[in-house]
Structure 1
Amino acid sequence: MNPPDVMTPYQLVGGESAVRELVERFYGYMDVMPEAQDIRAMHPADLAGSKDKLFKFLSGWLGGPDLFQEEFGHPRLRMRHFPFSIGTKERDQWLLCMYKALDDMPLDPALRESLARAFAQTATHMINRGE
């Protein structure tokens, strides 16, 4: 738990509405960018469930409500991503969409950079295929 005078990243990005907006923008880019076609193909045609899960995951990951864990249990990200062949190309496509979504948000530059680093570290951890 953070001391009362220290804001979580969840609060700093703008709370629930901002996390929802980030998720919408992220999947919006994934859905239309030719550069993201490989990761888009890993998702169902209807992105509603993916958006819901990412929103719930990011809420807790950013220090807000642990919605994902409450509904699905521990995230176990690597395990949940094992059914998908993820290499550096897929990681880079995912990050391209997330970085573009972050750029759309009215974030403090230091916060944006901190989030970008954290997303990159997490996305790299999802790689499960040798190249």
Structure 2
Amino acid sequence: MPSEGVDETFFHQIGGHATFRRLVDTFYRGVADDPVLKPMYPEDDLGPAAERLTMFLEQYWGGPGTYSELRGHPRLRMRHTPFKVNPDARDRWLKHMRDAVDELGLPPLQEETLWAYLERAAFAMVNTFEE
């Protein structure tokens, strides 16, 4: 019989839905006051965007497949094409996400795993170098 937790996904290891909800809620509190990022969100209320990001991250890390059930394949680069994601926007996104990750207080290995993914994803979304 496997050891306790060996078959657990990263989603479960870090606390499941509650942890991802805290991460995303903290992140969007920063975005709400960001003059560069806030205009990129089509809804005045960031709630729908927060819900989409929560579902995406949960699915990516081994949680429920709700994101794909509701929205299809993530196609992150395609979904971000309408927005000018330049290095400034990327760095602002990373700053707010860094604050959110830090607030979780995860063990070092889990924090590094999560952060490495978020950082790679942010760099991959850059689609222009224009200001």
Q: Is the counterpart of residue 90 in structure 1 residue 85 in structure 2?
A: no
Unpaired runs of 5+ residues, structure 1, are none
1:110 aligns to what?
109
40, 48, 57: which one aligns with 1:42:
40
1:10 aligns to what?
11
Deviation at 1:7, TM superposition (A): 2.6
Q: Is the counterpart of residue 20 in structure 1 residue 21 in structure 2?
A: yes
Q: How many residues align?
A: 126
1:59 aligns to what?
58
Identity of aligned residues (%): 35
- Between structure 1 and structure 2, the one with the greater Rg is 2
- With the length of structure 2 as denominator, give the TM-score of the two structures: 0.89
Deviation at 1:6, TM superposition (A): 3.4
- With the length of structure 1 as denominator, give the TM-score of the two structures: 0.89
Deviation at 1:129, TM superposition (A): 0.6
Q: Is the counterpart of residue 99 in structure 1 residue 98 in structure 2?
A: yes
- Counterpart-to-counterpart distance in 2, 1:29 and 1:75: 24
Equivalent residue of 1:38, what SS?
A: coil
Deviation at 1:106, TM superposition (A): 2.6
Unpaired runs of 5+ residues, structure 2, are none
Residue identity in the other structure for 2:52: K
- Counterpart-to-counterpart distance in 2, 1:90 and 1:5: 38
- Counterpart-to-counterpart distance in 2, 1:25 and 1:79: 25
- Counterpart-to-counterpart distance in 2, 1:100 and 1:37: 17
Residue identity in the other structure for 1:22: L
Deviation at 1:48, TM superposition (A): 1.1
